[in-house]
Chains A and B, each alone.
Chain A
């Protein structure tokens, strides 16, 4: 078979990045640039209390003394932080009280994205908090949740309605000066989601946030804080898309999770920011700090991520296992195609006794993509009988891409049991031919093999997300086999 027949067969299926549209919505923005006035502008726009402004300013001053990290295996074009816009909000009179009051253009955007923002969501059992550029637009199902004492709202609303909770936990897992991007976020974060599950309550539905960057030249700096009180349970989903633009856009989010004694938080992400075009032009810089703390005995935090978008991904969702018998998990699929780069992994910090962690990382590289797993497992002296199991698999498609594994292990207690397994494999021509000889098209064959490779991670996703993720994997790899 010649290459041209293959190309012809592929063409109709190559739909490209289908979320790349720009919505025609009037927005209100801060003037470009970053100084203390920008920070004050944001705080004033959001009507924030003095303590939060002070907190932001402290972060900003820290950020000014910091440098962007250079240890990751990433090639990043210099970012001009003075050229970006740090606040962009859809223009409107007052906050909408119901969906009817939301700008129809905005709702159309969400419809295109396939987000179940209205009652359809009830059937799907998803409560959605949607963040458009910087402001949380609508939160569904608040009432149902409120009956159980669950708070699920935008970050801004949480600051107004539940300041004591926000103040108690904000910055306790990711301090302002944690790293360059976290400091930037702490200074200029715009909105995000907040959830609090009271003691003993099992959240009856998946909580979900969709993030969307719409405005040009704007960065998105959302901040998410989730607290599960003693014995509570919550599963949280996060999805992301962005328009197709030629310049790179910055996304520097911070997510903090706090699980108290016996609580469990399951946090799943399907990240499909715009990856840039086939020549490597444009795309999102996804520089995100995600960390969870198990603050009591038997607490559990589980991160699941499917990273398909972004030009560059710099992200290490981590767990601080403070409580005895607490559990941390990290399940990850990261795809890099064309010119995408990903440096992602996790940190598992074992502080308490009998703490356990599991890391399953699946990296897929195609085109000229570069994929690095970077992980740290640290067992502190007091962490008797800590256990970790790490499995790191890389799959290569073609011979111009790369996969790298950088595991750090620091065991400071002799009772620690740490296992690390790593494999690298390549989809062979023989495998592709075998599938085709059984009647499968190249695309189906690829998707079958890739989904097989990722299934240990995909099975951790909630059902409706797993299906979406599978499709996304196939789309992300389009054109990677000729």
Chain B
């Protein structure tokens, strides 16, 4: 589903952040990406989702066989690429529910499905809200405005559940969650797991991986994937830290 080959990317000041990332994620798989602060995890997520401000200097990314980097950000989203933001953005004045409905209809249109009317939409919303134990009042507020850190993360997963993406990239969605919220979010992620979908989770903590057991675990250090393994690698890292990989770049 996703094939990243020798991906190099730099930021506006010319500094190269990704220095040859190779990664292949097949449909049905869940991958975890771990690595020290500043190693380039969010940059990778940004480049994959089309966030402005990065320049790809080398390498390529194929998504379902298409050149992902050639697609504008909104087209990627409509083609099924979803990013759960490390820092979800506040949009004052725009009702959360209204926003989600506009997004869902844009995505559905792309899939050749009909627009959802208010009634159908509300029904779909209620079902997902229950799964994630989110209060309805959150939907009537401005997008992420005044949400607590945990509420923002839950709202990201709620949006993901509604939009039903093929490739979900979760950037530290588990950070800042209390134990109950972590379980809810994990439920949301596991519910999305399926043979047609792929999930890439960026995380610092083993505890998420106890609930959502990954097929593969990768260590990103200084802009390169320096080690890959199965779920056991994450447990190993929890004990030994990144020290062993720090100089790999």
Instruction: For the complex, count residues of B whose C-beta is within 8 A of A.
Output: 34
Query: B163, A438: Cβ atoms under 8 Å?
Result: yes
A363 CB to closest chain B CB, in angstroms?
14
Query: B93, A455: Cβ atoms under 8 Å?
Result: yes
Which among B101-109, B132-140, B178-186, B227-235 touches the partner chain?
B101-109
A470 CB to closest chain B CB, in angstroms?
12
Q: Is B190 an interface residue (CB 8 A)?
A: no
Query: B89, A431: Cβ atoms under 8 Å?
Result: yes
A439, A442, A455 — most chain B CB neighbours (10 Å): A439
Q: Is B159 an interface residue (CB 8 A)?
A: yes
Query: B106, A434: Cβ atoms under 8 Å?
Result: no
Q: Is A23 an interface residue (CB 8 A)?
A: no
- For B83, give the chain A residue with the smallest CB separation: A437
Complex alpha-carbon distance, A437 and B91, angstroms: 14
Residues of chain B lying within 8 A (CB to CB) of residue A444: 102, 106
Query: A437, B73: Cβ atoms under 8 Å?
Result: yes
Which among B28-36, B48-56, B121-129 touches the partner chain?
B48-56
Contacts of A186-224 to chain B: CB distance below 8 A: none
Query: A5, B72: Cβ atoms under 8 Å?
Result: yes
Complex alpha-carbon distance, A441 and B105, angstroms: 12
Residues of chain B lying within 8 A (CB to CB) of residue A440: 74, 102-103, 106
Query: A1, B99: Cβ atoms under 8 Å?
Result: no
Residues of chain A lying within 8 A (CB to CB) of residue B147: none
Give the interface residue-count category, chain A. 20 to 34
Residues of chain A lying within 8 A (CB to CB) of residue B143: 434
Which among A164-172, A302-310, A344-352, A445-453 touches the partner chain?
A445-453
Residues of chain A lying within 8 A (CB to CB) of residue B208: none
Complex alpha-carbon distance, A433 and B74, angstroms: 8
B124 CB to closest chain A CB, in angstroms?
16
Query: A448, B94: Cβ atoms under 8 Å?
Result: yes
B46 CB to closest chain A CB, in angstroms?
9
B63 CB to closest chain A CB, in angstroms?
14
Query: A452, B51: Cβ atoms under 8 Å?
Result: no
Partner of B72, one of A1, A438, A452, A455: A1
Given contacts A440-B103, A448-B94, contact A434 B77 (CB under 8 A): no
Given contacts A434-B85, A438-B99, A438-B159, contact A425 B92 (CB under 8 A): yes
Residues of chain A lying within 8 A (CB to CB) of residue B224: none
Complex alpha-carbon distance, A9 and B92, angstroms: 26
Given contacts A1-B72, A437-B83, A452-B142, contact A430 B92 (CB under 8 A): no
Q: Is B110 an interface residue (CB 8 A)?
A: yes
Query: A430, B89: Cβ atoms under 8 Å?
Result: yes
Partner of A6, one of B72, B82, B106: B72
The interface of chain A, by Cβ under 8 A from chain B, is 1, 5-6, 9, 425, 428-431, 433-442, 444, 448-449, 452-453, 455
Q: Which 6 A-B pairs have the closest CB atoms?
A: A452-B93, A452-B94, A438-B103, A439-B106, A434-B89, A436-B74
25 pairs, A vs B, C-beta closer than 8 Å: A9-B72, A428-B89, A431-B90, A435-B91, A435-B103, A436-B50, A436-B73, A436-B74, A436-B77, A437-B50, A437-B74, A437-B77, A438-B163, A439-B78, A439-B104, A442-B74, A448-B98, A448-B99, A448-B102, A449-B91, A449-B94, A452-B91, A452-B92, A452-B142, A453-B92
The interface of chain B, by Cβ under 8 A from chain A, is 49-53, 72-74, 77-78, 82-83, 85, 88-95, 98-100, 102-104, 106-107, 110, 142-143, 159, 163
